[in-house]
Every structure is written in structure tokens, then in C-alpha cells.
Structure 1
């Protein structure tokens, strides 16, 4: 059997796919999807880099702002502390001169206080001379060994005020007129024991209660034969 020239022989292959023509609608053939060009890809990459830069810049700007605020607060705190320290130093400079002035004025105030107290006591003794009896009584109560003879030193002007009181004593008393003692005070002795109830000593005790420990004021010493005379009773 001869075949016609140009005739094609088709072999049936069950696994072969059959070609189908594309569908044609109202809009004609659908165009195939276009791939981006190299220039478009480069533009996309540049845009991505620009977006990333802007995001990073914004984030860095926020972090930098926070760091700047933190540094500013630290600087302000430091300046505040320095200012407070300067104010405290100035305040200390103001109080130190006052403290020094107080230290200088204290002896003068003490002297004035003692002088005023002495005048008050002197005025009290003028109006109530019998107070010397209370002073002597308290001194004798503090004196140990009263079974022996007691020597009582008083100012000569106070001696006559104690005659009546002396009669009530059950102890032998030797009166010593002592001009070194101010009026209103006395000093009693019995053997080696003695009690100082002089005006100066009582003033010192009163001032010590307020001003603290003070040095005992010097009392002028005088020979007993020149300043005191004994009188037995």
C-alpha cells in the first residue's frame, strides 16, 4: 500500500497529551505574565534600602532622644547637689561665727549672772537677816563629827544675828569673825572636816546647775590672825 505524498501517519499513544488551543473570549487572548526588568528590580531594592534606613533612623533618633534626656536629668541632679552643698557651706559659715561669738560671750554672761545673783542675795539678807540661821543650820547638818568642838566662820556683822540660834545648839561652838566671808555665808569646821557654805560657794553651785562645771572662784587668803578673831561661846 502506497501512501500519499505529504501524508502524516498518526500513532495512537494513550500516554500522550492532547494539545488544546487557548480559550478565546471577548477580550481576546490573555497575555502572559510579564517578568520585571533589571532596572525595576534595582529600583525595588533601592526603595527597600531607603525604607530600612528611614526606620533605622527613626529608631535611632528615639533612642538618642532618651539618652539625651537621661544625660540631661543626670546633669541637673549633679547641679542641684552642688547647689545644696554650697548652700550648706554658706549656712555653716553663718553659724560658725555665731558659735564663736557665743563662746566669747559666755564668760561675760556668767560673770554678769553671778553679779546679779549676789546682789539679789545681798538685798534678801538685808530684808531677812535671819536667813543666815538657815545657812548655818544646813552647814552644821552636813558636818560630820559634831561631837567635837565646832568652829563657825561668819562675817562680823552676821555674828550678832546668831546669838539666839547659838543658844539652841547642843554643840560647843567657837565663833570666828572672818572678814574674808561675805555676809550671808559661813564656813564650819570640826577637826579635819569642814563645810563651805560661803556665799561664793553657794553661788557657784547654783551657776553650775545651769552652766555646767566651772572653776572654783579664787577666794582671797589672809592670815587668820589678821582676818579672823575667835570667840568662844
Structure 2
């Protein structure tokens, strides 16, 4: 054992090298770099569950946003398609209704024309029956016809001949005697002149006042081509002696 006394450093080193029992280490904790900040250190293993949850929530949020955006886009596209369909349907309906109204108007106009033609023809047919009845019941009307026909002849005309039906000769001779004498006209019975009318000839021309001619002119003013005699009446007239 050395007789030299220990140096100060040696004495101090021996003091710091003293063994500390476990019982004295109950409040000991291992030092970490962030221990001074007052927050416990987190190992990568402790942060992994929180990161996975955050990623899942972010993905869920993105999915929800994508769904909302898709819903809005689809709704907007649906409105646009609906508006386009409405306009197309309105245009198509308008065109169809316009064509239907035009067709209805054309058919109504054609019906009005047919009705007007039928009414005019019925009126002409009725007038023909009335005139025939008048001639049958009042044969003296031929006198007025002869006077009007003579009035249509120019005053300068000479050698006037009035042709009437044989059955009307006496009626005209008596009823229009003064007019015939004033125009120095000669009255002649002619079988080809129908009863109720007359034909006047002179050196200046002819005045056809026969009932068939006057009837055709009157019917033409109504747009009708109805002869004075129908086929049956014409056959009867030709068969009479």
C-alpha cells in the first residue's frame, strides 16, 4: 500500500465512480433530445395509426367531393338536356299544329267552294223550274220578250223580221202590235224557235232572244253550265212532230 497521499483528482474520481444501487434509480428516466421541450417523444410506430386514419379521411373527403361534383354536373347536364327537349318538342308541336291548321283551312275552303257550287247549281235548277212554270202558266210573257228584243235593234235597221214559235204568234201579234207597227217589223211563225222566246233578224244583224240563249247567259253569271233543256227534255222535244 502506497504511503503517498492521494491527489485531489484521484480522490474526486473515486467519488464519482461510486456504484449506485437500483433502489436509488426509481425516479430515473432515460434522457431524450426533446426532453427539455416537455413533450414526449413519438416513435414512428406510434405515429403510423394517426397517419393512416388521416389518409383515409382525406380519401373519403375526396370521394365525397367527387360525388358532389358528379351530381352537380349530372344535374346541370340534365337541366340542359331537358331544356333542349322542351324547345325541340315545342318546335315540333308548333309545326304539327300549324300543318294541321293549314290542312284544316284548305279542307274547309274546298268544302266552302263545293257548298257554294252546290247551292248555286240548286238555285239555277230551281230557277229553271220556275221559268218553265211561268212560261206554261203565263205564255203572254213572250210579248214582253219580243218588245225588249225589238228595243235592242238599232233604229236605223230596216227589213226587221221577228221569228216566234207558232203557238206564240197570235199572242205577240196582239200584245206587241204597236211596237211591231212602229218599227215596220214583220212577224213570222218559226217552228225552230222555242216557246217563250224570239229571234229578230235585219240587214244589220241578229238578236237572239230565245229562252235557251237567255238562260245560258243567266246561268253563266252564276258560274254554272246548266242547259235550259236536260237530256230527257231535249229527246222529248225532238220526238214531238
TM-score normalised per structure 1: 0.57
Seen in structure 2, the aligned counterparts of structure 1 residues 143 and 65 have a Cα distance that, compared at 3 Å, is: same
Higher helix share: 2
Q: Which residue is 2:68 aligned to?
A: 55
Q: Equivalent of 2:151, from 141, 147, 150? A: 141
CA contact (8 A) 2:164 2:188 kept: yes
CA distance in 2, matches of 1:47, 1:30: 35
Q: Equivalent of 1:65, from 75, 78, 95? A: 78
The number of residues matched between the two structures is 188
Q: How does 1:1-233 map to 2 (within 5 A)?
A: 38-70=51-83, 72-73=85-86, 76-77=89-90, 80=93, 112-113=125-126, 115-126=128-139, 129=140, 131-164=141-174, 165-168=176-179, 169-212=181-224, 214=225
Residues 66-103 of structure 1, C-alpha deviation per residue, up to 9 Å, x if partnerless? 244346536755775797599679979x88x989x98x
The structure having more radius of gyration, on CA atoms, is: 2
Structure 1 unaligned regions, length at least 5: 6-28, 221-233
CA contact (8 A) 1:149 1:171 kept: no
TM-score normalised per structure 2: 0.56
Seen in structure 2, the aligned counterparts of structure 1 residues 166 and 134 have a Cα distance that, compared at 3 Å, is: same
CA contact (8 A) 1:154 1:183 kept: yes
Q: What's the CA shift for 1:134?
A: 1.5
Question: For the aligned residues, what is the CA RMSD?
Answer: 4.8
SS of 2:206's equivalent in the other structure is: strand
SS of 1:207's equivalent in the other structure is: helix
